[in-house]
Amino acid sequence: METTSLVLPFDRVEADAIAIMLFEDESAPPELHSATAWLDEMRSSGEFTGKSGELAVAHLPHGLLSKRLVVVGGGPRDKFDTAALRRAVGSTVRTLKQKGVKQLAWWLRDTAAGLSTAEAAVEGAILGNYETDRYKPSTDAKPLEHFVVAVPRGGMKLESAVARGRIIGDSQNFTRDLANEPANRLTPMVLADRARVMAGEQGLECEVLDQDRMRQLGMGSLLGVAQGSAEPPALIVVRYRPAKEPEVVDHLGLIGKGVTFDTGGISIKPAEGMEKMKYDMCGGAAVLGAMRAIAQLKPTIPVTALVPAVENMPGSKAQRPGDIVTSLSGKTIEVLNTDAEGRLILNDALTYAQKLGCTHLVDAATLTGAIVVALGYVNVGAFTNNDTLLGRVLASSKVEGEKMWHMPLDEDYKELLKSPFADLANIGGRWGGAISAAWFLREFVGDTPWVHLDIAGTAWIEEPKPFMAKGPTGVCVRTFVHMATNW
């Protein structure tokens, strides 16, 4: 989809449709003077009240060059933000493209709102236009071809905002593309190949550690998960280095869980819903998508992404409950449940990230079903050993509309991981499962500032939303990019 900007009077914008937003109890703005009678009729009939999610369409509107006038409800003005705008644009795109609209202009009345408004509008259009039909040649999807951000006057550096929105929206969809791939088409080594191609296109460095190299280094925890599959594992490392030597010594590490398919191993999962375990690499996909955007937006600090990529299978060589493995850190782990595999690959990646010089670590992982029990499908669970770094993450997530909730990580929970046979066990029992999983990871970061994001409830949606197709969401991409570019 092409995205452009335009500075013109409202009635001079020519498109298949031009959309303008109205809030609850808001009188018609000057742009809608010629459509006052129609809008009054919509309101008197209750068809349009300005509530969030409402949409009214007038065909061949009098006095306009656009073929359709679309009035979009914004809800209460005091509750409206860029996240709400992103969703409103996405919903409008998904509705209108099914009605044959190929070119949509979005009118931004308040140019004083700044660059973030135009950026969010473009992101919403790109995310809303996305469909999960790559392997469905019979699809009747009708994508939007051109999205225009139109404003009455300049002064917003509009083109740069549109460009930034396009970079971030496309990168989030890159993440969704990776997550959508079925496991027979996206093995760990294929994911590594995709990372190499992306890195080459964006001018990033990419290194892939194979099984032999990981064995030499001593990544016994990661390799233990991989040994049950015929597909070899990979540790993907993608580096961004700023053009100028940074004034600070901070080096951000983004670590993403990359289990391309998770059967649970010997502790096998129930058959129902197991097809969704192709999504168990959404954390890895998110950090790769973030790196794609970071490469183009060029923050002033170095950023390194690590994706431990494995397939967790119950093959004849699979590790068994009760096995003990030695991690890269030297700590030994009693594997009580082979379906708690994400933490077993992440701990080696976290240790390796520190060896590469990362001073601040943030990981994203579809780690536990327990976080879904705690927070449902709304919030990402956030755990930390450093409130300052968590503050950065939460501030960025709030700006980007990716909801996150600070979860506890008290010392008392560490007791859950005690093992009589190894330094720690890989599970801590039924209660507080998301917390004990986070505590397990904390054991491998020492004093390095670290935040763990459990995205199991937010990485994909079971049913389509008005603003987004069913499937992976690309959660965390925007937060990571905002954090890096505003460090």
Q: Which of 269, 403, 414, 465 is an active site residue?
A: 269
Q: Which residues pair with 240 in a beta bridge?
A: 303
Pairing of strands 323-326, 332-335: antiparallel
Model confidence at 321: pLDDT above 70? yes
The helix (H) or strand (E) run that includes residue 7 is strand 2-7
Kindly give, in sequence order, each residue whose CB lies less than 8 Å from that of residue 326, ignoring residues fewer than 6 positions away: 218, 220, 221, 332, 333
* DSSP codes of every residue in 44-99: HTTS--S-TT-EEEEES-TT-SSSEEEEEE---GGG--HHHHHHHHHHHHHHHHTT
Same fold, 2-152 and 169-485: no
Q: What is the pLDDT of residue 139?
A: 75
Pick left, alpha or beta for residue 279 (phi over 0 → left; psi -120 to 50 → alpha; otherwise beta).
alpha
Model confidence at 134: pLDDT above 60? yes
Cβ atoms < 10 Å from Cβ of 26: 12
Q: What is the pLDDT of residue 350?
A: 98
Q: How far is the C-alpha of 278 from the C-alpha of 459, rounded, in Å? A: 12
What architecture is domain 2-152? Answer: 3-Layer(aba) Sandwich (3.40)
Does 343 qualify as catalytic in the annotation? yes
169-485 has CATH 3.40.50.720 classification: no
Residue from 285, 341, 212, 306 nearest 476 by CA: 285
pLDDT one-digit tens code per residue, 45-100:
999 999 999 999 999 999 999 999 999 999 999 999 999 999 999 999 999 999 99
Q: What is the pLDDT of residue 246?
A: 72
Rounded mean pLDDT, 286-310: 98
Kindly give, in sequence order, each residue whose CB lies less than 8 Å from that of residue 460, ignoring residues fewer than 6 positions away: 179, 276, 279, 282, 471, 472, 473
Q: What is the pLDDT of residue 273?
A: 95
Pick left, alpha or beta for residue 420 (phi over 0 → left; psi -120 to 50 → alpha; otherwise beta).
alpha
Q: How many residues does the chain have?
A: 487
Q: What is the pLDDT of residue 107?
A: 96
Rounded mean pLDDT, 314-341: 98
Q: What is the pLDDT of residue 140?
A: 76
Q: What is the pLDDT of residue 156?
A: 64
Rounded mean pLDDT, 297-320: 98
Model confidence at 24: pLDDT above 80? yes
Model confidence at 120: pLDDT above 60? yes
Q: What is the pLDDT of residue 155?
A: 63
Q: What is the pLDDT of residue 392?
A: 98
The helix (H) or strand (E) run that includes residue 165 is helix 158-180
Q: What is the pLDDT of residue 308?
A: 98
The sign of the torsion formed by the CA atoms of 80, 86, 91, 97 equals positive
Q: What is the pLDDT of residue 177?
A: 98
Q: How far is the C-alpha of 168 from the C-alpha of 160, rounded, in Å? A: 12
Q: What is the pLDDT of residue 126?
A: 98
- Boundaries of every domain in the chain: 2-152, 169-485
Model confidence at 31: pLDDT above 70? yes
In the structure encoding, which two tokens stand for residue 20, read together? 């303008």
Q: How far is the C-alpha of 250 from the C-alpha of 78, rounded, in Å? A: 37
Residue from 386, 384, 390 nearest 441 by CA: 384
Cβ atoms < 10 Å from Cβ of 29: 13
Kindly give, in sequence order, each residue whose CB lies less than 8 Å from that of residue 343, ignoring residues fewer than 6 positions away: 367, 426, 437, 440, 441
Q: What is the pLDDT of residue 114?
A: 64
pLDDT one-digit tens code per residue, 160-188:
999 999 999 999 999 999 999 999 999 99
Model confidence at 19: pLDDT above 60? yes
Contact criterion met (CB below 8 Å) for 433 and 369: yes
Model confidence at 111: pLDDT above 80? no
Mean pLDDT taken over the chain: 95
Model confidence at 306: pLDDT above 60? yes
Model confidence at 113: pLDDT above 70? no
Distance, C-alpha 299 to centroid of its chain: 19
Model confidence at 112: pLDDT above 90? no
Helices (H), 298-367: 342-355
Does 269 qualify as catalytic in the annotation? yes
Kindly give, in sequence order, each residue whose CB lies less than 8 Å from that of residue 72, ignoring residues fewer than 6 positions away: 19, 20, 21, 22, 54, 55, 88, 91, 92
pLDDT one-digit tens code per residue, 235-259:
999 999 999 887 778 999 999 999 9
Q: What is the pLDDT of residue 168?
A: 98
In the structure encoding, which two tokens stand for residue 428, read together? 């801590």
Q: What is the dihedral of CA 222, 228, 231, 237, to 10 degrees?
A: 0
pLDDT one-digit tens code per residue, 361-416:
999 999 999 999 999 999 999 999 999 999 999 999 999 999 999 999 999 999 99
Question: pLDDT: is 155 or 171 the higher one?
Answer: 171
pLDDT over 90, % of the chain: 92
Rounded mean pLDDT, 454-462: 97
pLDDT one-digit tens code per residue, 195-233:
999 999 999 999 999 999 999 999 999 999 999 999 999
Q: How far is the C-alpha of 484 from the C-alpha of 66, rounded, in Å? A: 40
Model confidence at 453: pLDDT above 90? yes
Region of poorest pLDDT, from 22-36, 434-448, 455-469:
22-36
Question: pLDDT: is 349 or 109 the higher one?
Answer: 349
Q: How far is the C-alpha of 433 from the C-alpha of 134, rounded, in Å? A: 36
Q: Which of 86, 343, 392, 478 is an active site residue?
A: 343
pTM of the prediction? Answer: 0.96
